[in-house]
Chain A
C-alpha cells in the first residue's frame, strides 16, 4: 500500500463572508502516484477543494475550518502557504493571470528565482522542464506571441521545474480548443507516468479528460462528495445525471439504442469499449428513427464577397473570403486561433474596412455605412460580458443604447420590459448587475443588443467557461431567439455547440474558407478537422467502430433525437 499524500477527514469550510459552508463533511484520501479526476457542476465546491490543497485556503481566502486536512502527513493549517507551495504545484485555469514572466523562459524560472536558486543551475533546470513539455524552442517568446496551448505548456513546465510532489490542475481545459485540449490531456498523462507524481485534475469536461485513463473519479455536488469510484463504474451509474454533468456522447447514443452500460463494457474509453453482439443494435436504432433533415429555403441576408483585409500592409489576415449568411439561420464560424474569425466580425461591424471586396446586407453594399448605421442592423456580443457592461443597474444597461439614440423614455420602458421578459431577466430588473452570475450577465449583454432590434446578432464564444447546465440554458435561449426570426452567428470552437445548435458551419483556416457545410459533415471530415484544430466527434468514431453504414447520418439523427429527449 503506497502512502497517503492528501487526507481529508470530516472536513468542512466556510468562507468568511458567507453563512453557508462551501465544503461539508469531506472525507477523502489520495495516495502517492495516483491520478484523480474531480468533477462537479459550477458552485459544487470543487475549486474550493483545490484551494484547500494548495493553501490559498486559509492563507489567502480566510474562513472557518473544521475536521482535519493532512498533507504529506502534516496538518495543513500548521504549514505555511510557502511550505505548501513546495509540495503542491498548481496550474490555474486563467493562463494570462498565471503567466507573470516577460518570456517563456522567465516564467518557467519564476519559482526558482523566488527560491534564490543560482543562475547556472536555474538555466539547466528551466531547459530540462521546457524540454519535458516540448516548449524549449520558444524560451524567448513573449506571452502575447503564444497560443493558449503553448501558454498551458509553459504553466506546466513552471510547476514541474520546482520538483513538487503533487500536480494540481484547476480546469486546465477551460480556455483551450478541443484539439489542444486533447493534447494537454495527453501531456499531463505522459508527465504523470514518467515522474510518478500524484496528479489531481479538476474539470467538468469529462469526455475530454477521459481521453487518457484516470485511477478514479470524485464527483462533487453541493459541497459534498457524491461519489468516489473508477471511471467505468461512474459511467455505468446515474451519478453524472444527478449532478447535472454531461456523460460522453457515445454513451448517450448507446443508451438511446437501448443498451445498458455496465462496468465490464469498459465504457470509459471508446478504444476499449466492448460491445460485442450489440453493434447491430445501433444500426437498428438508427434505422428506426429515420428523419428528414430540415431544409431551409436559403435567402441571403448578409454576404461577404471576395473580402481581403490585413492589419498591416503586406500581411493579409483574410484572402478573398466569400461567405453567405441566410435569413433566419443559426450559423457557426469555426477555426483555430488566428484563422481570422474575430477579424470577420470586426469587418462586418465596420470597425475595420476591407482592403478589397464588398459586404452586402439585404443585397445592399454597406461598405460605406458607418459603424453606428450598421449597429442598427447588426448586433455584436463580446465573449466576456464584463467587457460590455458599464451601468450599475440591469434596466439602465439595457436602456443605454436606446437612450443614446434619443428615444422617448416611455417607449424605452416598453421595449426594455419586453426584452427583459424574452431573456428571462424580468424578475431581476431592479437588481444591480454585480449581483448576477456570469451566465446572467451574458444574457444582459444579449438583451442590451436585442433591444435595438437587430436583424442579425453575432456572438463571440457564447458558452465559454460555462458548465453543462448553463451551456444548455444559454443555447436553448439562443435557439428561442432564432425561432423568433433573428439570425444568429456564433463564433466558436466548441464542437458540441456547433453540432447541436448550428444548422451550418463555416470553417476558416489561414484567412480562407476551408469548409462550409452541415456541422455533422464537417466534424466527420478528417482533413477539415485536422486543419482547423477541431476534434472528430466521438459519435462518428463510435459509428465506425460499430460498423454502421452512413456514419454521418447517425450523428445527425442522434442530435435530432437527443434534442427531442432533452425537451420532453
Chain B
C-alpha cells in the first residue's frame, strides 16, 4: 500500500538555493514554451539545457528513479497509441511522404511519422527534468508563499499548503480503514470487485473528511486566518541576484524559442 512519492530533498546546490517563486515561474514559463514549440532544434537545445541544470542540482537518482518507470511506460503506450490511431499523422503535418516499410493493412511506417513521433517524445522529455527539479528542490513550505508572490490570492495559495499538509494524514486514514476491513474478512478476496471495495472505503472515508474540514476550519478561524487583506509568510525568502539571473535566462529562452518557432510562419520544423 505504501506509495512512493516525490519529496523535497534537502541539499545545497545553486538550484536548491533559488527561491520557490523563481522556480515556480521558471517551471511555468518553461512548460508553456515547450508546449508551444514544435521546432526540433529548439526542443533539442532546451533538452540539453535542462539536463545541464539537472546535473547542477545534484539530486540523487534514487529520489526520482521510481517515477521514471511510470513516465517510460506512459511514454511507450502513448507513442504506440498515436501510431495505431494515426499512422500517417506525420505526412499530414509535413505534407510529404517517404515510405520506409509496410507493416499490414493501413499501417506503413513513414519517415515523416517517425520524425513527428520523435518530436512528441522530445516535447515530453523537455518538460520532465524541469518538473522533477521543481518538485525535488522546492521546500513544500515555500509553495504557498511562492504562489502568493506571483499573484495568486493568499487564501488559494494556503489551500495548496493545506493539501500538502494533509495528504499523509488522509493516506494514513485510508490505510487504517482498509486494514480494519481486511481484518474483518471483508474485502480481501481478490474476487470481490475492486469498485465495490473502493466504494466501501470511500463511503467510510468521506464522513471523516467532512468532519475534519469542520474541525480545521474552526481552528483556523480561531487563529485569525482570513481577516486581513494581506498576509506575511514565515517561510518566504527575498530574491537574490541568482534569482534575477535565472528569471532573465528563462525569459530569454522563452522569447528565443518563440521567435525561432514562428519565424517561418509554421509551428512545425520540417527536415523534409
Do chains A and B make direct contact within the complex (CB under 8 angstroms)?
yes
Report which A residues bind B (CB closer than 8 A).
Answer: 54-56, 59-60, 81-82, 85-86, 90, 92, 94, 96-98, 100-103, 105-106, 109-119, 122-123, 126, 143-144, 158, 162, 311, 346, 349-351, 370-372, 375-376, 378-382, 384, 386-390, 400-401, 404-405, 448-449, 452
B223 in the interface (beta carbon within 8 A) = yes
User: Nearest Cβ distance between residue B238 and chain A, in whole angstroms?
Assistant: 9
Contact B164 A113 (CB under 8 A): no
Which B171-228 residues have a C-beta within 8 angstroms of A? 173, 176-177, 179-186, 188-189, 192, 200, 203-204, 207-208, 212, 215-228
Cα A117 to Cα B234 with chains together (Å)? 9
Contact B218 A56 (CB under 8 A): yes
The size of the chain B interface, using a CB distance under 8 A, is 50
Can you offer 5 A-B residue contacts whose CB atoms are under 8 A?
A90-B222, A98-B219, A371-B185, A390-B200, A452-B185
Contact of B232 with A380 in the complex, beta carbons under 8 Å: no
Which B positions have Cβ atoms within 8 angstroms of A? 2, 140-141, 161-162, 164-165, 168-169, 173, 176-177, 179-186, 188-189, 192, 200, 203-204, 207-208, 212, 215-228, 230-236
Main secondary structure on B side of the interface with A: helix
A-B pairs with the 7 shortest C-beta distances? A375-B185, A97-B215, A109-B234, A380-B183, A98-B219, A114-B224, A349-B183
Knowing A56-B222, A96-B169, A143-B165 touch, does A351 contact B182 (C-beta < 8 A)?
yes
**B180–A102 touching, CB < 8 Å:** no
Residues of A within 8 A of B168 (CB): 144
CA distance A358 to B177 in the complex (A): 26
A105, closest chain B residue (CB) = B234
Q: A113-B232, A114-B231, A115-B228 are in contact. Are A448 and B161 (CB under 8 A)?
A: no
B residues near A102, Cβ cutoff 8 Å: 140-141, 161, 164-165
Beta-carbon contact of B165 and A101 below 8 Å: yes
B225–A110 CB distance below 8 A? yes
Chain B residues with CB under 8 A of A311:
2
Is A388 touching B184 in the complex (CB atoms < 8 A)? yes
Q: From A114, A372, A386, give the contact of B223 (CB < 8 A).
A: A114
> From residue B116, how far is it (CB to closest CB) to chain A in Å?
43
Q: Contact check, A387 vs B232: say whether CB atoms are below 8 A apart.
A: no
B185 contacts A372, C-beta separation under 8 Å: yes
The answer to whether A97 touches B212, judged by C-beta atoms less than 8 angstroms apart, is yes
Distance, CA A86 to CA B179, complexed state (A)? 43
Determine whether the beta carbon of A116 is less than 8 Å from that of B232.
Answer: yes
B203–A390 touching, CB < 8 Å = yes
Distance of B211 from chain A, by nearest CB (Å): 8
Q: Which residues of A contact B221 (CB under 8 A)?
A: 56, 59-60, 81, 85
Contact at A351–B186, with CB atoms within 8 Å?
Answer: no
A117, B140: Cβ atoms closer than 8 Å: no
CB of B77 to closest CB in A, whole Å: 31
Complex CA distance for A82 and B221, rounded to whole angstroms: 8
Q: Are A387 and B184 in contact (CB under 8 A)?
A: no
- Cβ-defined contact, B232 with A100, below 8 A: no
The answer to whether B184 and A448 have CB atoms under 8 Å apart is yes
Which of A106, A122, A384 has the most chain B CB atoms inside 10 A of its CB? A106
Closest Cβ of chain A to B70, distance in Å, is: 21
Instruction: Known A60-B218, A386-B207; judge A371-B188 contact (CB<8 A).
Output: yes
> Given the interface contacts A102-B161, A106-B141, A390-B204, does A118 sit within 8 Å of B185 by beta carbon?
no
Q: How far is the CA of A55 from the CA of B141 in the complex (A)?
A: 30
The CA of A56 and the CA of B214, in the complex, are separated in Å by: 12
